[in-house]
Structures are given as C-alpha cells and as structure tokens.
Amino acid sequence: RDTLLMAADTIVIMDGQIYEKLVDREDARRLLLSYSGKEVEVFTSYRLRYNDHQHAFDQSTWLQISDLDAKDVDEYLDAKFF
C-alpha cells in the first residue's frame, strides 16, 4: 500500500532567540508586542516521505514587523487570527 507522509514545523528567530509555538492568548500578546518594529526570521522545515523515498528541505525568510501598539495586538487577537 502506498503511503505519503508530510510534516512541517516553523519557528521564529529574533535577536538570536528561537520562539516556538504559542501557549495561549497572553503568550501571543506578549510575543507580538516584542516583535513590534523588529526584523524576524521565519524558518520552516519540511519533510516528505513516500513509501521508501524521503525528501527534506528548509525555507527561511526575513520579515520586518510594523510598529504595533497594544490596541492593534488586542484587535488582532480578538479576531482569533492566532
């Protein structure tokens, strides 16, 4: 039987620190406010496996985050975009 497995995971790197998955809304708020006005690297690693064949690749990009205030962040979180 043919089997395809796909997996991916993403992290954000800012000021040399790795930021992983958010725990809750307050964690998201704290993190988004810390990104305000900064440049962050978003790194995603992908893995594909089809039967006995495997392929792995990584992708990274740099994002410049706009200046955010608490109101902007709260509106974003209230819309449940995270």
- Hey, how many other C-beta atoms are within 10 angstroms of the C-beta on 70? 11
Give yes or no: 67 in active site. no
Catalytic residue among 2, 9, 67, 78: 9
| Cα dist from 18 to 7, 8, 42, whole Å | 20, 16, 10
By annotation, the residues acting in catalysis are 9
